[in-house]
Amino acid sequence: MSGSFSDTTQAANEKIIDRDTDRDDDDDLHTMADRNKEDQDAIPLRGSSFDEEEGDSLVGRADAHAKPKRASLLPPFSLATIDSNAPASVLAYCMASISMTVVNKYVVSGDEWNLTFFYLACQSIICTVTITTCKRAGLIKTLAPVTLDKCKKWFPISFLLVGMIYTSTKALQFLSVPVYTIFKNLTIIAIAYGEVFLWGGSVTRMAMGSFSLMVLSSIVAAWADIRSALTGEMGDDSKNAIATLNAGYMWMALNVMCTATFTLSLRKVIKKMDFKDWDTMYYNNLLTIPILIIASFLAEDWSSENLAKNFPENQRNSILMGIVYSGLAAIFISYCSAWCIRVTSSTTYSMVGALNKLPIAISGLIFFSAPVTFGSVSAIVLGFISGIIYAVAKKRESEAKKESLPVKEDGETDKQPR
């Protein structure tokens, strides 16, 4: 789902807890990577006889009368080589998140688009069906069974998720991709201070400095947008352009609150439920389906005339393909996130997430002809720098926590119970 794993991916995508704001992000991320690795071990192409044969040949156990090894016939760059390649994992994660944002913007950017609940329901259905299929095919080893008790406990989280992904999609509909990307940084601030209020966390001076830059970049972005609207650079008359921006800012403010509430609530509930990553993703998508379908039938126009407006004949196939891709991309982002962490580190992943904001913002300038002005470019640069500073601040905070932990005589770190 787009919202779930973008933030946390996405939010949704975005696991979907925001990895940069988790107080124990290093441990949680490595745990996710380990579980994801177990899931990948079920894939026939990995952990096959090729690895065993190669190991035998390295220790000189090859029988003189044995048949030639198949491993010698494989090219140097096999699937196993790619799977352990750090640059490939980083590139895959960046491409997945960029394409997800671009496709979402394309689907909802139509002048007559008003079927957001339907769009999100399709994403949830596609994700649920795909996860179920992967489980039956053996690609996913374990998946929490659907029980009434678990559904009751998880339903409030799914309800909050609907609020998060709906407001996120509406904000993306009315705002340009660069402005949307910049304003999403404000969610980090809301979550950080939410942790301080709820669990007595702390905010370092460097983190506060990055927050100041995030706020400044948002102000500069809003100023650049309003100026472009007043000068007619957005293509519409000034009155309509300003109204569109105001709607986007309203939805963005709601999204910041919804995302922070969802992320903080998810962190608390997920520990009680003892869910793994696939379990979280499966329940999130499964339980949001009835909510989104009911909301779509109650709040959206299903007349043939309105359907024709939302799916014009000359764009119908591309929009439908975009809907299908967005559902699959949520799973792809989740996989790439775990892959990146597994072959690099959680710190590298956090830094990649910060650096990735720049190409996402640039993609909006390229694909959707967002106004390129001094203000918009300055806002993108400020947002980019603030993300890097925040990632460095989290890295230092994590290192400080490790140094403060007691150490056993055998050299193993002994963590205090949470």
Q: How would you write 144-189 as a 3-class SS string?
A: CCCCHHHHHHHHHHHHHHHHHHHHHHHHHHHCCHHHHHHHCHHHHH
Closest of 141, 418, 151 to residue 273, by C-alpha: 151
Q: Is 223 exposed, middle or buried (0-12, 13-18, 19+ CB in 10 A)?
A: middle
Q: Is 93 exposed, middle or buried (0-12, 13-18, 19+ CB in 10 A)?
A: buried
Alpha carbon 26 to its chain's center? 17
Using one digit for the tens of pLDDT, what is the confidence trace for 313-352?
999 999 999 999 999 988 888 888 878 877 877 667 777 8
**Domain presence at residue 153:** yes
Question: Per the structure block, which two tokens stand in for 195?
Answer: 């942790």
**Domain presence at residue 61:** no
Structural contact between residues 5 and 333, judged by C-beta atoms closer than 8 angstroms: yes
d(CA 145, CA 283): 10
pLDDT at 296 over 50: yes
pLDDT at 19 over 60: no
Quick one: average pLDDT of 141-162? Answer: 91
Q: Which residues of 38-47 are buried (b: 16+ CB within 10 A; e: fewer)?
A: ebbebeeeee
Predicted local confidence at residue 112, as pLDDT: 87
In this structure, of 209-223, 265-279, 290-304, 393-407, the range with the lowest mean pLDDT score is 393-407
**Domain presence at residue 51:** no
**Domain presence at residue 278:** yes
**Domain presence at residue 417:** no
Q: For the chain, what is the domain count?
A: 1
Long-range contacts of 74-83 (CB under 8 A, 24+ apart): 74/50, 78/50, 79/45, 79/46, 80/46, 80/50, 80/51, 83/40, 83/46, 83/339, 83/343
Predicted local confidence at residue 48, as pLDDT: 36
**Domain presence at residue 244:** yes
Predicted local confidence at residue 24, as pLDDT: 45
Predicted local confidence at residue 64, as pLDDT: 43
d(CA 356, CA 359): 6
d(CA 229, CA 107): 23
Domain housing 112: 18-42+86-399
Closest of 210, 200, 275 to residue 17, by C-alpha: 275
Quick one: average pLDDT of 368-394? Answer: 88
Quick one: average pLDDT of 285-289? Answer: 94
pTM value is 0.76
Q: Is 417 left (phi over 0), alpha (psi -120 to 50) or beta?
A: beta
For 218-276, give the DSSP string: HHHHHHHHHHHHHTTTTSS-HHHHHHHHHHHHHHHHHHHHHHHHHHHHHHHHHHHHT--
**Domain presence at residue 111:** yes
Quick one: average pLDDT of 63-71? Answer: 45
In this structure, of 4-13, 133-142, 334-343, 394-403, the range with the lowest mean pLDDT score is 4-13
**Domain presence at residue 187:** yes
In this structure, of 8-17, 165-174, 360-369, the range with the lowest mean pLDDT score is 8-17
